Structure 1
């Protein structure tokens, strides 16, 4: 273990200025406050949002430099703060724990984390697999379950089915008994099919064509947009009349609601970071991760990991890979 417990320091990757490379530094190990647990981090998942924050483009995340970035972690509870009864030292946990709103991120050997944001790590997943799940699974659950109320027998379309959120959303919708369809580029269709969804090459079929082919022109019961931009506009065209529901994790642009309104359909946006920014609703994140653990133990949920094995000092390599699009599955840093 590279942490020197005698002087109570830890190694962490620090972003001193937006757009610059991380610097490996020695910092004090944090002390858990009331309601927090101290976690020895074993793995830290990298998300596209992390790279936006690093570039200075993730203003909505309210993480000012200098900072330790990283949203997702898996690790072991070392100690607990006052009032924490759900966890004890030695527990293996995972969660979307920091990296925004002034909270210390997960590119470090330790973090003090609000206990409400954590759940026990599923035994069926490695630390690396568990660290890949929190942000993407919470987003998928909030969209498909909390907003759209996915049910057995529904036809669900997921845009970006091979992406971080998309590949988890496919598995989640299937676990509810839905028929799942997912768009992707030609190189991602094989993965989408392997996950159990019907792949749709968005470059070769228009919205009208695939709605006709797979729903007899009626439209999909739920359309989950994980891409944003013009993909959200296409979602409004692909949804079923009256009962259809469009959900987007990236509905930040300006869009015409006419195609949606003419179908009498509904729309919901997701902002997964809100509980961490406001301090309200954090318990629901822990609840969702317990559902993820349940599905994992049943063999219905497993993240796809990139083959690269990165150490804490190599976090910069992972960030650059995500920015260049040179990633297959989720990238995880071993700590």
Structure 2
């Protein structure tokens, strides 16, 4: 099969087209012919940082985590999938799991689900990593109908899904963005937009919550921005974040009695821990999508498998709006 390999890591490490052996299906897994995959920030970090990240595969490596495609073969012990099923998931591209920048992947059946029937392969491939992350953060933070929810970075990959899921679950959703295009997208997705460049946390907390704060803050920016989340949260509020590799003073969180939920959705893949939860979440996400509650936003630029370096550059440029997707056919 054709694959795009990384032979050495680095900032602009080249992807080399190569013919590699098509993998054999194994027990508990399915062989999937990939139709599309999407690029995530963690993919670009692995390419750039290599072994500085404990989750990077040995080179030569096939990167890429998200995919949508068609089942070509079913391993022993797999009963829920048949040849010809259209599936989606996040199942490789790190540690010892070969990734999606190839024509086929052997995926653990516990890490995939049947593709939402209302989405194209491109759209379905955009969802798994970001949608599982958003789902996990909101549910772990105990989202309830009527909650006032603040999403930081609502025009990004994770953020734009978090807005839609929070709306689907009955919350009143607000979201920060830094420009007209970002705020237009946030509003289109059904949230009230907040321009963090022109409004202080104190100002928007006063304006939208009467000074009480948001019951739930989903911070897809994280890092130093967590101090803004602490300030924006209500007393005894909940904060979910996807980025917490930083040192912070937790004093403000202490005096408000805040709970902090750190979401690292790669744990099931990395540690072979509770993988079936990803299948359950993906099945639920498919139902939400089919009911009209979730539509991924795709970047307008299109890329083929041969143009994967351009796709990575597009995501890293920060100019994209929505998920960057690679098409295979």
What's the TM-score, normalizing by structure 2?
A: 0.97
**Aligned pair partner of 2:168 in 164, 175, 182:** 175
Instruction: Quote the residue 2:246 is aligned against.
Output: 253
1:204 aligns with 2:195: no
2:146 corresponds in structure 1 to: 153
Q: Secondary structure at the match of 2:89?
A: strand
Q: Is the 8 A contact 1:305 1:332 kept in 2?
A: yes
Cα displacement (A) at 1:33: 1.3
- In structure 1, the partner of 2:117 is 123
Partner Cα distance (1:101, 1:174) in 2: 35
C-alpha distance in 1 between matches for 2:149 and 2:65: 28
SS of 2:260 mapped into structure 1? strand
8 A contact 1:45–1:72 mirrored in 2 = yes
Aligned to 2:66: 72
Which residue pairs with 1:6 in the alignment?
none
Task: Look up the match of 1:299.
Answer: 292
Q: Give the deviation of 1:118 after TM superposition.
A: 0.5
Q: Give the counterpart of 2:234 among 213, 216, 240.
A: 240
Contact kept in structure 2, 1:61 and 1:273, CA below 8 Å: no
Counterpart position of 1:281? 274
- Distance apart, 1:63 and its partner CA: 2.1
Give 1:88 deviation, angstroms.
0.8
- Tell me the residue number matched to 2:34: 41
User: Gapped runs of 5+ residues in structure 2?
Assistant: none
1:288-316 deviation per Cα after TM superposition (whole angstroms, max 9, x unaligned): 01111001100110000011221100111
Candidates 7, 20, 23, aligned match of 1:16: 7
Shift of 1:105: 0.5
Provide the rounded CA distance (Å) in 2 between the counterparts of 1:134 and 1:306.
16
State the Cα distance separating 1:326 from its structure 2 match: 2.1
1:231 matched residue in structure 2: 225
Deviations 1:226-258 (A, max 9, x none): 01222111101111102x101111011011111
Residue 142 of structure 1 is matched in structure 2 by: 136
Q: 1:266 aligns with which of 252, 259, 262?
A: 259
Whole-Å separation in 1 of the counterparts to 2:189 and 2:298: 13
CA distance in 2, matches of 1:324, 1:310: 15
**Offset of residue 266 of structure 1:** 1.0
Take 2:314 and 2:77, find their aligned partners in 1: how far apart are those partners?
41
Single out whichever of 227-236 and 76-85 deviates more from structure 2.
Answer: 227-236
Partner residue in 1 for 2:207? 213
Alignment of 1:185 onto 2:178: yes
How many residues matched? 324
- C-alpha distance in structure 2 between counterparts of 1:123 and 1:116, whole Å: 20
State the partner residue of 1:165. 158
SS at match of 2:47: helix
List runs of 5+ in structure 1 lacking aligned partners.
Answer: 1-9
